[in-house]
Amino acid sequence: MNKVSIKAPAKINLSLDALRKREDGFHEVAMVMTTVDLADRIELTLLEADEIKIESSGGFVPLDDRNLAFQAALLLKKTFNIKKGVNIHISKHIPVAAGLAGGSSDAAATLKGLNELWKLGLSLDELAELGAKIGSDVSFCVYGGTALATGRGEKIHHISSPPPCWVLLAKPPIGVSTGEVYRNLKLHGLEHPDVEGMVKAIEEKDYDQICNLLGNVLESVTLKMYPEVKHIKEQMMRLGADAVLMSGSGPTVFGLFQHESRLQRVYNGLRGFCHEVYAVRLLGE
């Protein structure tokens, strides 16, 4: 085998709470994450030469050691003293710097693909632990599915999948820096979402309660910095989404829908003023 092709799905945060700032500068978080069927595709080709090459079609991403997929390959090479190389091709479909963990998912897919290509024999748990060195969202992306993530986001507790539903993603034409959003977060006086309640609602497949409990403390920063995100939230709700929330540090907003006809109506309404709108399904498992 000298080629591996692997899907790298986007995630959304159904609940995101920040509890405190840690000594290492990161925030202690509790969040519920789930994958959706909007995905990049990563193709890995074995190179006999000792080098990492990276190329991409689709969105604009750095094609050097700033790319998280490149960093994943380098980490494995260094950790296991691999003398072979790889060509990484990314077919980019997930919007970049959008709050959908596109880069993290590419890194996770690269870890999983190289585990096969370089015959490393690592478990998912071992890959997830390595992934945490690249970014806080990478561990979750190694497993996918649905999870409660704690610590700085790297401690993963698997939970059952939410009931099937549609998700509408709408991204205004701005990129958001996750670091900047966390830096501007004021922990005092925050309205904290009920993360435990969200886990329970998912376990009980209670769609209405999932809608009621959506919450993300990072909205308090991003919605102020970028009023267009607030505008999209309001429009999506007005047009008829069952519930609406910003994903991660934004700026992507997602809406949940039980009925496809309503999803279609809101999709058409949003396309009038928002260029990037995607109708997807929860992958859940």
Ligand X SMILES: Nc1ncnc2c1ncn2[C@@H]1O[C@H](COP(=O)(O)OP(=O)(O)OP(=O)(O)O)[C@@H](O)[C@H]1O
Ligand Y SMILES: C[C@](O)(CO)[C@H](O)COP(=O)(O)OP(=O)(O)OC[C@H]1O[C@@H](n2ccc(N)nc2=O)[C@H](O)[C@@H]1O
User: Does 222 interact with ligand X (rule: CB under 6 A)?
Assistant: no
Q: Which residue is nearest to ligand X (CB)?
A: 103
User: Does 15 interact with ligand X (rule: CB under 6 A)?
Assistant: no
Nearer to ligand Y, 182 or 226 (CB): 182
Q: Is 119 a catalytic residue?
A: no
Q: Is 59 annotated as a binding residue?
A: no
* Residues from 231 through 270 that contact ligand X (CB under 6 A): 248-249
Instruction: Tell me the C-alpha to C-alpha distance, in Å, between residue 276 and each of 166, 189, 267, 271, 284.
Output: 17, 34, 10, 8, 23
Let me know if 227 is exposed, middle or buried by CB neighbors in 10 A (0-12, 13-18, 19+). Answer: exposed
Q: How far apart are CA 253 and CA 238, in angstroms?
A: 14
User: Does 131 interact with ligand X (rule: CB under 6 A)?
Assistant: no
Q: Least distance in Å: CB of 262 to ligand Y?
A: 27
Q: Is 123 annotated as a binding residue?
A: no
Report whether the peptide linkage leading into residue 251 is cis, meaning its omega lies within 30 degrees of zero: yes
User: Does 104 interact with ligand Y (rule: CB under 6 A)?
Assistant: yes
User: Does 136 interact with ligand Y (rule: CB under 6 A)?
Assistant: yes
User: Does 169 interact with ligand X (rule: CB under 6 A)?
Assistant: no
Q: Least distance in Å: CB of 240 to ligand X?
A: 26
Nearer to ligand X, 164 or 179 (CB): 179
Q: Is 83 a catalytic residue?
A: no
Nearer to ligand X, 77 or 171 (CB): 171
182 interacts with, out of ligand Y, ligand X, none, CB within 5 to 8 A per kind: ligand Y
* Residues from 20 through 79 that contact ligand X (CB under 6 A): 61-62, 66-69
Q: Which residues are annotated as a binding site for ATP?
A: 95-105
Binding site residues, ligand X, CB under 6 A: 61-62, 66-69, 90, 96-104, 106, 137, 178, 248-249
Q: Which residues are annotated as a binding site?
A: 95-105
